[in-house]
Amino acid sequence: MNRPEICLALDVDDPKQALDLVKNLGGTVDLFKIGLQLYCEQGNSFVSSIKTLVATVFLDLKFFDIPNTVANACKSVTRLGVDIINVHALGGSEMLQASIDAVNNEADRLGIKAPKLLGVTILTSINTQILKQEMGISGAAEENAVRLAELCKKVGLDGVVASPIETPKIRKACGDNFIIATPGIRPAQSDKNDQKRIATPREAATNGANILVIGRPIYGAANPKDAAEAIIKEL
Ligand code: C5P
């Protein structure tokens, strides 16, 4: 089995720190993720400048709104030429379908490759208790994540973002060609922070994840490059 790709989450405010991480780790990790924090600070031009430096950029803005609004947001980020984008699966099938159509139509219009579109299932910071007590959603977090992954597959998304814990069930339900990106990755000695449904890099790989999304355990380490290399060695 090939090892999963390592995606470094650039969850920093400072563009210089983000660029330093990209330059320092460009030859070590496989792709970089720009999330809400850096995007809200730096916007589209920064995304484009990162894209000129690295092969694969995941723009993690987790769109969640009515179908028309999400479709227009997907259309807009498709123009940035990034490689992976995402929407919340909880937005429902109509929103998911509108997102796929928007991405494909805009990419066709521009003659560019469409970004892969992933559905966020249940956030790795949300567990069964929070789902039930705060959101009134019954069933275990893992069951809900698998159900949402099946919905994403049925509508035609390229894959999902899910916890490494439900990854084996998602793989079984959605097949080998479905991308499973897993945050909530914590090497054995790392701090859990706000993540609740976690696994080590090796467990996530064994469970069948394609992309391991890792932030604080790498960029928060005294030596980020050593931390990334240790994770790759463990895999
Ligand atoms: O620092 P840490 O490794 O916890 O970072 C995880 C990254 O994955 C963050 O950028 C977070 O936004 C993202 N993410 C997540 N859970 C999801 C989807 C994305 O933690 N379900």
Residues 79-100 have pLDDT tens digits of 999 999 999 999 999 999 999 9
Residue 8 — φ and ψ, nearest 5°? -85, 120
Mutate-to-test residue for ligand 1 from 86, 180, 197, 213, highest number of ligand atoms within 8 A of CB:
213
List, in order, residues 6 or more apart from 158 with CB less than 8 Å away: 116, 117, 118, 178, 179
Q: How far apart are CA 83 and CA 177, in angstroms?
A: 17
Neighbours of 105 (CB within 10 A): 15
pLDDT band at 189 (very low <50, low <70, confident <90, very high): confident
Quote the percentage of the chain above a pLDDT of 70. Answer: 100
Give, for 165, the enclosing helix (H) or strand (E): none
Q: Which residues contact 104 (CB under 8 A, 6 or more apart)?
A: 114
Give the residue from 91, 115, 89, 87 showing the smallest Cα distance to 103: 115
Extract the tokens encoding 3: 């090892």
Q: Is 193 in the pocket of ligand 1 (CB under 6 A)?
A: yes
CA of 151 to the centre of ligand 1 (A): 22
- Centre of ligand 1 to C-alpha 110, Å, is 31
182 Cβ below 6 A of ligand 1 = no
pLDDT score, position 203: 96
State the pLDDT confidence band at 1, using cuts at 50, 70 and 90. low
Say whether pLDDT at 190 is over 90.
Answer: no
How far, in Å, is the centroid of ligand 1 from the Cα of 15?
Answer: 19
Query: Which runs of E-coded beta strand occur in 64-178?
Result: 84-88, 116-120, 159-161
Average pLDDT, whole number, for the chain? Answer: 96
How far is the C-alpha of 202 from the C-alpha of 208, rounded, in Å? Answer: 10
Q: Does 215 contact ligand 1 (Cβ within 6 A)? A: yes
Q: So which residues are the catalytic ones?
A: 62
Q: Hey, which of 7, 31, 57, 124 would you mutate to test ligand 1's pocket, going by the most ligand atoms within 8 Å of its Cβ?
A: 124
Interval 117-131 mean pLDDT: 96
- Report which protein residue has its CA nearest ligand 1's atom 12: 35
Q: How confident is the model at residue 195 (pLDDT cuts 50, 70, 90)?
A: confident
> What are the angstrom distances between the C-alpha of 19 and each of 10, 16, 36, 143, 227?
9, 5, 16, 38, 18
Q: How confident is the model at residue 117 (pLDDT cuts 50, 70, 90)?
A: very high
Per-residue pLDDT averaged across 204-218, rounded? 97
Q: Is 212 in the pocket of ligand 1 (CB under 6 A)?
A: no
Global pTM reads 0.96
* End-to-end alpha carbon distance in the chain: 11
C-beta of 148 in contact with ligand 1 (< 6 A): no
Q: Average pLDDT of 4-28?
A: 96
